[in-house]
């Protein structure tokens, strides 16, 4: 690439979480001298939900140079150690998808193979005996990972629960500090050059703005990627039929637990996300099985009086056919949507920006480069789709038509292969770069009662005997760490010392 062909200006349409995350990362990473602007409408509100993240969000804060404590204080965030799934396999049943390590590798074999032996031997092992994150979450406690520690604390990971609108506001200020220009305007449409590339965006007040690269973060409507470039949509409603959500915040009724609760309901599932000042609640449901009015009644019946009017949101699982088309890249809700069952949307925005940096164009916009970007991000969407579909397909609930239907969907071939490998051998083999590792898949397989037909042949009686001592040591270490850890709520109590100074805490990420 010659310097004359370099991208000189980037215009980001949309000032929700996606727009300000993109602006913040690009302002740090794009070549010096690139002018970055964000256009946000004063008339069209951001979606304002999106309250749970996954651990790479902490890595992003570090990369941006944002101090985690400062971010938590300024945004009213709480810490998250994983997700507790309630009533999915059957009413009354619970399972964990915690963050961090699980057990320890013994003789190069992942610990979940020893777990299968323990289950087969009727030892009734519990995930929380081998996962510090699950154990702390169950106890309502929290501590930071300690990279200097030798034991289980070294393998801890955590994420945050936060208010998406507050986070967008925080990042707006942060990006402004890095020189990002903000315009409060509403985009009406855009003009295109003879080759189809976007020339200028046109505001409703008649003003215009031109840039070399456009990033569409305008939410579900996709003002540029769909309304101007007609990208098309790949609809996954056949395998992920939930298409609505009703969201209703409630007052703090209890200490905030350090985890997201995802409870299966008659036509979908309900989230409870603790923030410092309130609970975020919502019911994700399938409109052909439940009306909006019934979903609202159902949710309020569970969570009590809301702090604001319940909001119904409509969506279709899937993604734009082309996430990057011509000189426009779509991110966030403008590029696709997967229900928040594993809190992946905001991470998909972050991965999209990193992928854009890995394929950063010049003004020739090499089609092979654009094709590579699209393939990589679509693979990521498909990987997450498969993971979400597993949560529904593997349940054994048959108490409502919704639960009977989701167990009969035609599974994507990529998921069939993963299930067959696991059911045969207990192996998973997530590919490098996939968002969910073998361990995440294991938690859902095991949580929903899927068992491999044959144990790992490399784990014989000698290996099991060797592992036994380690297993006891692990259980003791985890119990000791949990005893010494502060309660989660103590991190937010007024007048408390900074979290890093609390007993049992190590350096935050």
d(CA 66, CA 206): 38
Question: In degrees, to the nearest 5, what angle opens at C-alpha 410 toward C-alphas 407 and 414?
Answer: 110
Judged by CB under 6 A, the residue of 7, 10, 11, 19 near ligand FAD is 19
Contact present, 27 and 36 (Cβ < 8 Å): yes
Residues binding ligand FAD: what is the number (CB under 6 A)? 37
Decide: is 447 part of the binding site for ligand FAD (CB under 6 A).
Answer: no
Judged by CB under 6 A, the residue of 24, 131, 218, 395 near ligand FAD is 218
Which residue's entry shows tokens 């935050």? 508
Nearer to ligand FAD, 135 or 164 (CB): 164
Decide: is 46 part of the binding site for ligand FAD (CB under 6 A).
Answer: yes
DSSP symbols for 240-252: S---EEEE--EE-
Nearer to ligand FAD, 54 or 156 (CB): 54
Decide: is 281 part of the binding site for ligand FAD (CB under 6 A).
Answer: no
Judged by CB under 6 A, the residue of 137, 223, 240, 444 near ligand FAD is 223
d(CA 202, CA 210): 9
Site string for ligand FAD, 153-192 (x = CB under 6 A): -----------x---------------------xx-----
Task: Tell how far CA 123 is from the center of its chain.
Answer: 33
Decide: is 16 part of the binding site for ligand FAD (CB under 6 A).
Answer: yes
Judged by CB under 6 A, the residue of 25, 346, 377, 428 near ligand FAD is 346
d(CA 374, CA 376): 6
Decide: is 282 part of the binding site for ligand FAD (CB under 6 A).
Answer: yes
Minimum CB–partner distance for residue 341 and ligand FAD (Å): 9
Minimum CB–partner distance for residue 12 and ligand FAD (Å): 9
Tokens in use for 484? Answer: 């010494």
Binding span for ligand FAD by CB under 6 A among 217-225, 316-324, 368-376, 389-397: 217-225
- Strand, helix or coil at 8? coil
Binding span for ligand FAD by CB under 6 A among 38-46, 104-112, 128-136, 469-477: 38-46
Site string for ligand FAD, 229-268 (x = CB under 6 A): ----------------x-x---------------------
Contact present, 49 and 280 (Cβ < 8 Å): yes
End-to-end Cα, the chain, rounded Å: 37
Minimum CB–partner distance for residue 22 and ligand FAD (Å): 9
Minimum CB–partner distance for residue 331 and ligand FAD (Å): 7
Binding span for ligand FAD by CB under 6 A among 151-159, 292-300, 343-351, 353-361: 343-351
* Phi, psi values for residue 260, rounded to 5°: -90, 140
Longest Cα separation, the chain: 77
Site string for ligand FAD, 398-437 (x = CB under 6 A): ----------------------------------------
DSSP symbols for 37-75: EEEE-SSS-------B--THHHHHHHHHT--HHHHHHHH
Describe the chain by its helix, strand, coil percentages, rounded to 5. 40, 20, 45
d(CA 212, CA 11): 8
Task: Tell how far CA 351 is from the center of its chain.
Answer: 11
Binding span for ligand FAD by CB under 6 A among 36-44, 174-182, 288-296, 375-383: 36-44
Nearest to 90 by CA among 443, 448, 440, 446: 448
Decide: is 44 part of the binding site for ligand FAD (CB under 6 A).
Answer: yes
Binding span for ligand FAD by CB under 6 A among 85-93, 150-158, 339-347, 425-433: 339-347
Tokens in use for 367? Answer: 């089609």
Tokens in use for 57? Answer: 């969000």
Decide: is 390 part of the binding site for ligand FAD (CB under 6 A).
Answer: no
d(CA 222, CA 216): 7
Judged by CB under 6 A, the residue of 11, 34, 36, 50 near ligand FAD is 50
What residues make contact with ligand FAD under the rule CB under 6 A? 13-19, 39-41, 44, 46-47, 49-53, 164, 186-187, 217-219, 223, 245, 247, 282, 313, 315, 332-334, 340, 343, 345-346
């Amino acid at each position: 690439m010659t310097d004359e062909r370099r991208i000189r200006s980037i215009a980001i349409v949309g000032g929700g979480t996606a727009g300000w995350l993109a602006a913040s990362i690009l302002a740090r990473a794009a070549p010096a001298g690139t002018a970055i602007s964000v256009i946000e409408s004063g008339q069209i509100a951001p979606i304002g939900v999106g309250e749970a993240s996954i651990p790479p969000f902490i890595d992003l804060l570090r990369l941006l140079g944002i101090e985690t404590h400062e971010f938590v204080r300024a945004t009213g965030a709480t810490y998250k150690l994983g997700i507790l799934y309630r009533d999915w396999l059957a009413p009354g049943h619970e399972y964990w998808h915690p963050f961090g390590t699980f057990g320890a590798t013994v003789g190069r074999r992942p610990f979940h193979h020893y777990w299968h032996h323990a289950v087969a031997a009727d030892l009734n092992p519990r995930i929380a005996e081998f996962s510090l994150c699950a154990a702390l979450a169950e106890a309502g406690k929290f501590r930071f990972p300690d990279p200097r520690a030798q034991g289980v604390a070294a393998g801890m990971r955590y994420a945050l629960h936060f208010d998406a609108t507050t986070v967008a506001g925080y990042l707006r200020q942060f990006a402004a500090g890095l020189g990002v220009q903000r315009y409060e305007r509403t985009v009406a449409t855009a003009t295109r050059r003879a080759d189809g590339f976007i020339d200028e965006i046109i505001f409703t007040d008649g003003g215009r703005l031109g840039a070399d690269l456009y990033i569409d973060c305008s939410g579900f409507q996709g003002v540029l990627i769909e309304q101007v470039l007609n990208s098309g949509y790949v609809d996954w409603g056949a395998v992920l039929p939930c298409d609505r959500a009703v969201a209703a915040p409630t007052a703090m009724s209890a200490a905030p637990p350090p985890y997201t609760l995802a409870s299966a309901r008659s036509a979908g599932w309900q989230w409870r996300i603790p923030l410092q000042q309130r609970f975020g609640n919502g019911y994700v449901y399938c409109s052909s099985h439940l009306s909006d009015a019934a979903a609202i009644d159902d949710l309020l019946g569970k969570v009590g009086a809301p702090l604001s009017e319940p909001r119904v949101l409509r969506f279709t699982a899937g993604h734009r056919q082309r996430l990057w088309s011509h000189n426009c890249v779509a991110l966030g809700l403008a590029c696709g949507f997967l229900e928040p069952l594993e809190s992946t949307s905001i991470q998909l925005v972050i991965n999209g920006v990193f992928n854009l940096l890995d394929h950063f164009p010049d003004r020739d916009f090499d089609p092979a480069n654009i094709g590579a970007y699209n393939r990589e991000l679509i693979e990521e969407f498909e990987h997450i789709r498969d993971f979400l579909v597993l949560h529904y397909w593997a349940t054994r609930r048959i108490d409502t038509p919704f639960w009977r239907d989701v167990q009969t969907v035609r599974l994507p071939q990529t998921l069939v292969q993963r299930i067959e490998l696991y059911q045969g051998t207990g192996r998973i083999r997530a590919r490098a770069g996939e968002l969910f590792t073998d361990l995440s898949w294991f938690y859902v397989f095991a949580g929903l009662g899927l068992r491999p037909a044959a144990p790992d042949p490399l784990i014989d009686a000698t290996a099991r005997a060797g592992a036994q001592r380690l297993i006891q040591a692990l259980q003791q270490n985890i119990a000791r760490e949990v005893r010494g850890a502060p309660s989660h709520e103590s991190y937010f109590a007024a007048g408390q010392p900074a979290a890093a100074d609390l007993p049992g805490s190590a350096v935050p990420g």
